Amino acid sequence: MLKLRLARHGRKRHAYYHIVAADSRAPRDGKYIEQIGVYNPNTDPAYIEIDFDKSLDWLFKGAQPTETVRAILSYKGVLYKKHLLEGVKKGAFDEKVAEERFQKWLQEKEAKIQAKRDKLISDSEALKKNRLEAEIKVKEEKAEMLAKKFAAKAEAEKEATEEEVTETVEAEAQGETEAKVEEPKAEVKTDEPAVEEKAEKEAKPEEPKAEEKKEDEPKA
């Protein structure tokens, strides 16, 4: 019995898969008949690459897909195309109508996929914007806290400086007051020697002046 299934590749916790056609009796990751696609669930949305015609051909040959592969084939439109072609074989409609229906479905599917991608991009950008705004808000709050801290420190230093200056001025004023109180009065200096000299002079009688010799005094 033929199976369409996944063959695991990649490293632990980061595996990707090959979509293969294989004998159901073969080991899961063992030998296969043909690879028809790749499935990588590690991306968002998941990356799927598939050979549409080969997948359709294997389905018509009776290959049974696993649940995961069936979901992948449905997502890519392979199962819907098989259904339309079976309708053509039964005579329900012709190939032209089948192709028109498939193209319409494909366009709608692409529109949905694109809408999902746009939403993912929009959500990612919104998330980045919110994170950036949150980071800016945190930075602003930190800056505001630092500014308040520095302002408080500056105010405290200013008050301490003012108190120190006030204490210094008061101490100097108090020292000047004490010095002024303890300072002895200056003695009034008198010109005692000058006074005594004047008194002695006044007390001393004036000596009589020698009489001037007269020119007419007769010679002896």
Q: What is the pLDDT of residue 117?
A: 82
Token readout for 179 is 């010095």
Mean pLDDT of 137-150: 88
- Counted domains in the chain: 1
The pTM of this model reads 0.56
Spatial CA neighbour of 61 closest among 97, 21, 27? 21
Q: How far apart are CA 9 and CA 17, in angstroms?
A: 6
Q: Give 76's pLDDT tier (boundaries 50, 70, 90).
A: very high
C-beta of residue 42 within 8 angstroms of C-beta of residue 75:
no
Domain containing 42 equals 2-92
- Give a yes or no: residue 44 inside a domain: yes
DSSP 8-state class, residue 214: P
pLDDT by residue (tens digit) across 158-184? 877 877 777 777 777 776 666 665 555
- Give a yes or no: residue 121 inside a domain: no
Q: Is the pLDDT of residue 71 over 90?
A: yes
- Give a yes or no: residue 117 inside a domain: no
Q: How far apart are CA 123 and CA 110, in angstroms?
A: 20
- Give a yes or no: residue 188 inside a domain: no
| DSSP, residue by residue, 43-91 | SSSPEEEE-HHHHHHHHHTTPEEPHHHHHHHHHHTHHHHHHHHHHHHHT
- Give a yes or no: residue 69 inside a domain: yes
Q: Is the pLDDT of residue 88 over 70?
A: yes
Q: Is the pLDDT of residue 214 over 50?
A: no
Q: How far apart are CA 145 and CA 150, in angstroms?
A: 9
- CATH code of 58's domain: 3.30.1320.10
Token readout for 1 is 């019995």
How many other β-carbons are positioned within 10 Å of the β-carbon of residue 101?
A: 16
Is 153 or 64 the better-scoring residue by pLDDT? 64
- Give a yes or no: residue 170 inside a domain: no
Token readout for 37 is 């696609």
- Give a yes or no: residue 126 inside a domain: no
- Across all residues in the chain, what is the average pLDDT? 81
- Give a yes or no: residue 8 inside a domain: yes
